[in-house]
Structure 1
Amino acid sequence: MMGPRQEAQAALFYEFSLEGHVPQDHLLRLIDPFVDLSSIRPHLAPFYSHTGRPSIDPELLIRMLLVGYCFGIRSERRLCEEVHLNLAYRWFCRLDLSDPVPDHSSFSKNRHGRFRESDLLRHLFETVVARCIAEGLVSGQRLAVDASLIEADANKQNSTPKEEWDRTAIDPADAPRAVQEYLEVLDHEAFGAASEVEPKFTSHSDPASQWTAARKGPAFFSYSDNYLIDTDHGVIVDVEGTRSIRQAEVGSTRTMLDRVKENFDMDPDWLIADTAYGSGPMLGWLVDRKIDPYIPVIDKSGRSDGTWTREDFEWDAENDRYICPEGHELKQFRRNYSDPNRGPTGKGRAKYRALKLICQECPSKARCCPNADARSVAREEHEDARQIARDIAKTDQYEIAMRLRKKVEMLFAHLKRILGLNRLRLRGPCGANDEFLLAATAQNLRKLAKILPAPQKPQTA
């Protein structure tokens, strides 16, 4: 038969525990043991006044932000609503049923103030990385690097072509925060100093973002999210936001490698990357650091007419010369100069030439230099490092490295599809870095919860 009508009846007392209403396999319960925020208050202490009204607990704000980025809730208004309604979110944020949820404006005030001044979000990220290292998930022997485009909060309708853009006309005192940050990073390697080429369009709301068509589709304003990961378990060991151009992305690799060396004493044996990182200066920098570059070399020495390429010529380092397949030498200089400025410098691009008389009489001239009187071969400044990378590409370990590199791409796919970071909400270089750091922290926490077994709940008598 039909049961009685269910009607809500107010009770005077309730016996209710948040702890009992959060499932044991809930993501936040699995993540919670790895969230150590004990260092946040000492880290922020110098940035608080000793007088005035008590502020909102910074640990509560960080826990709420972690909830938002773990579940793809990046709107702070919506995050406050979800924490207010969701029992698991309240449990993770250490809020009781009667505790009020902070207003969404508290996040903006703290983010633009104490959090950014103290670099708290990077401190939080590095604390989680240190936990991953302590749990044995990071060996630091094989690292991989890559970048992914994240759309900025800007559009073409509110932009200016490069012919009309004049940064000197901007008054920093009246400019929005994102424009002020743009003026501050003009000399930074990751932004203004990365390239002298001006972008085709510059956004009024976020001028530090890059106008790009790198996705082979409609162009848009974006930032590059750069990840440096350990390939053992795909843990992100460093993250950096830059302009969406190759020079800035490659430069961020040096920044991240220096930072993990300083913070975690991490000296990798391998660095794995795609062809964009295979320039001579980058390979030379890695070889000088005793890091094996598992990176395809950017090489434009190949020929399409079937004649001999530079690889067909043998390099004789001891005598500073090339030997052609016919046994003749190609030299850069054939006499000693009294003026040292005219002799070999060892820097830049050098050209090695054969003697015209020998080339004219050579039986293989048609295969070597059919349209020139004599053959010349160019040698780049970092050719030794480039050759080391070419030799590594012939090994079996190189095939393994190329498979491991896909772990970075998987993290970016997870970032965009699961965490929902397809488009930035915050503007300016600082806003982009804040979002990238929080997202990377959430990914590392999810990685810890996935790999390590959840601690057993003690049995009550």
Structure 2
Amino acid sequence: MMGRQATKRELFVSVSLDEYVPGDHLLRAVDRYLDLSEFRSNLAGSYSHTGRPSIDPELMARMLIIGYCYGIRSERRLCEEVGMNLAYRWFCRLGLKDKVPDHSSFSKNRHGRFRDHDAFRQLFDSVLRRCMAEGLVQGEGFATDASMIKADAQRHRSCPGDVGIDWGDAEQASRPVREYLTALEQANPIPPVPKRISLTDPASTWTAAAGPAIFAYSTNYLIDLKAGLIVDVEASAVNKMAEVEATKIMIDRVEEKFAIKPQRLVGDTNYGVAAMLGWLVDEKGIVPHVPVWDKSEHHDGTFSRSDFIFDVENNQYVCPAGKHLRPPRSAQAKTPLRYRASVYDCQVCELKPKCCPNMVARKIDRSPQEPARDIARAIGKTEAYRVSRRERKKVEMLFAHLKRILKLGQLRLRGPSGAHDEFLLAATAQNLRRMAKKLFMPKREAELAMS
């Protein structure tokens, strides 16, 4: 006999949302390690003591964390999902009959009191402190890298950078335009003129680094190598020097806030420029596990700079023939030096065809940071360096997770402040997920095995 489901319409039902959220649900783990008390107290000064109660900022923070943890990019859709999903309601402390905030409230708070108090930076820092308290941050080795994220700007809403643009009244312009004009006024020196400028997000960078040219920003990560946790994140323009400066900012900020300075820094060739290596070795005392950006090696059969021996005591290079290359007498130690051989030595030398066939005499440029570069070259031949190269993949894995799982391949918010907010929230979600999987999931499996 075929059964038929009978629909029972009960007038009163007692429901506990806690019963409907599985014990191994990701949000249970995130909720266990998420403390929003600092987030709430940080915003307390921006609310009046009288009047109608506002939407709880903690509720909006929890909803945003859900959105970034599960790749829900639309705030309108996020509100719909929270309204329908019992686990989301449980995490947000909403009952079945509680009303979900309207999506417009996120924009008002994000561009207002949240940004004025740098609330998302504070939220990221509080999660990182919890990671440190749980012993997931070792501080021995950091890795850094940058990844390009497409901006919310289209090619047809742009113009060549060398064309004069009338932005109109700055006070009536959009927020991204105001941020761009303010940054131009404060810039010293003035940045070079870009090839194209977006009219909707002029601070974004026009780049063809990853295929067809697009407008984009770079998200810069500084991670601890023990558990692959993000210790800092910074938004920057898409170019090598901006990304190097972002890494310096992050290292200084972590040291200032958390009193943590790594013993070694792992990075790719982008961070192997002389200025960066000199800053790491001479100013910070950090061992650079970074390949040196070096164009002095020759591949045409002629002598490279490595074939010349530098005599530190006499400040001169010794060529393979035993002759000396010296700097100008008026040269300053803080500027790049050009060491020259004697014309008379080179003209009669039998090794000239292999040394300087197209020059009258051999010349070698030496950077003031050359000792730091030599240290990096020596480290590059060690087994510890090869281990660091393998560990650096943890940063690339985080970027892959950011784009494929969290769906942050393109920004929704415009301007540097919009990129700043999105990158911070995404990094916070990644740290929460990593902490949940490192700490909560093993404990849960152990509890199930014992039961």
TM-score under structure 1 length normalisation: 0.93
User: Contact 2:335/2:367 (CA < 8 Å) preserved in 1?
Assistant: yes
Q: Secondary structure at the match of 1:315?
A: strand
Confirm whether residue 176 of structure 1 aligns to residue 163 of structure 2: no
User: Contact 1:194/1:247 (CA < 8 Å) preserved in 2?
Assistant: no
State the alpha-carbon separation in 1 of the partners of residues 270 and 11 from structure 2. Answer: 67
State the alpha-carbon separation in 2 of the partners of residues 179 and 64 from structure 1. Answer: 29
**Counterpart for residue 122 of structure 1:** 121
Number of aligned residue pairs: give it.
444
State the alpha-carbon separation in 1 of the partners of residues 5 and 259 from structure 2. Answer: 67
User: Contact 1:195/1:247 (CA < 8 Å) preserved in 2?
Assistant: no
User: Contact 2:184/2:190 (CA < 8 Å) preserved in 1?
Assistant: no
User: Contact 1:332/1:352 (CA < 8 Å) preserved in 2?
Assistant: yes
**Counterpart for residue 442 of structure 1:** 429
Confirm whether residue 206 of structure 1 aligns to residue 201 of structure 2: yes
Q: Which runs of 4+ in 1 moved over 4 A?
A: 192-195, 454-458
Q: 1:118, CA displacement in angstroms?
A: 0.5
**Counterpart for residue 319 of structure 1:** 314
Deviation string for 1:58-79 (max 9, x for gaps)? 1101000001100001211101
State the alpha-carbon separation in 1 of the partners of residues 320 and 164 from structure 2. Answer: 54
Q: Alpha carbons of 1:195 and 1:241: their partners in 2 closer, same or farther (altered >3 Å)?
A: farther
Q: 1:438, CA displacement in angstroms?
A: 0.4
State the alpha-carbon separation in 2 of the partners of residues 370 and 156 from structure 1. Answer: 48
Q: 1:194, CA displacement in angstroms?
A: 8.8
Deviation string for 1:274-321 (max 9, x for gaps)? 111111111110012101111111111122321111111111111111
State the alpha-carbon separation in 1 of the partners of residues 20 and 29 from structure 2. Answer: 15
Q: Alpha carbons of 1:28 and 1:367: their partners in 2 closer, same or farther (altered >3 Å)?
A: same
State the alpha-carbon separation in 2 of the partners of residues 67 and 312 from structure 1. Answer: 58
Q: Alpha carbons of 1:332 and 1:150: their partners in 2 closer, same or farther (altered >3 Å)?
A: same
Match of 1:365 among 352, 361, 364: 352
State the alpha-carbon separation in 2 of the partners of residues 38 and 165 from structure 1. Answer: 49
Deviation string for 1:133-188 (max 9, x for gaps)? 11111111100000001011110111111121436x44211101111111223367
Confirm whether residue 406 of structure 1 aligns to residue 393 of structure 2: yes
* Residues 18-417 of structure 1: pairs in structure 2 closer than 5 A: 18-166=17-165, 169-186=167-184, 196-215=191-210, 217-288=211-282, 289-333=284-328, 343-417=330-404
Alignment gaps of 5+ in structure 1? 336-342
Identity %: 56
Alignment gaps of 5+ in structure 2? none
User: Contact 1:165/1:202 (CA < 8 Å) preserved in 2?
Assistant: no
TM-score under structure 2 length normalisation: 0.95
State the alpha-carbon separation in 1 of the partners of residues 164 and 198 from structure 2. Answer: 10
Amino acid at match of 1:25: D
User: Contact 2:308/2:319 (CA < 8 Å) preserved in 1?
Assistant: yes
State the alpha-carbon separation in 1 of the partners of residues 95 and 119 from structure 2. Answer: 26
State the alpha-carbon separation in 1 of the partners of residues 78 and 269 from structure 2. Answer: 40
Structure 1 vs Structure 2 CA RMSD: 1.7
Amino acid at match of 1:179: V
Amino acid at match of 1:36: D
State the alpha-carbon separation in 2 of the partners of residues 187 and 418 from structure 1. Answer: 39
Deviation string for 1:18-71 (max 9, x for gaps)? 000001111101211011111122211111122222111111010000011000
Deviates more, 1:449-458 or 1:428-437: 449-458
State the alpha-carbon separation in 2 of the partners of residues 242 and 171 from structure 1. Answer: 26
**Counterpart for residue 3 of structure 1:** 3
User: Contact 1:261/1:267 (CA < 8 Å) preserved in 2?
Assistant: yes
Amino acid at match of 1:137: L
State the alpha-carbon separation in 1 of the partners of residues 188 and 79 from structure 2. Answer: 39
State the alpha-carbon separation in 2 of the partners of residues 366 and 20 from structure 1. Answer: 83
Q: 1:96, CA displacement in angstroms?
A: 0.7
Q: Alpha carbons of 1:34 and 1:157: their partners in 2 closer, same or farther (altered >3 Å)?
A: same
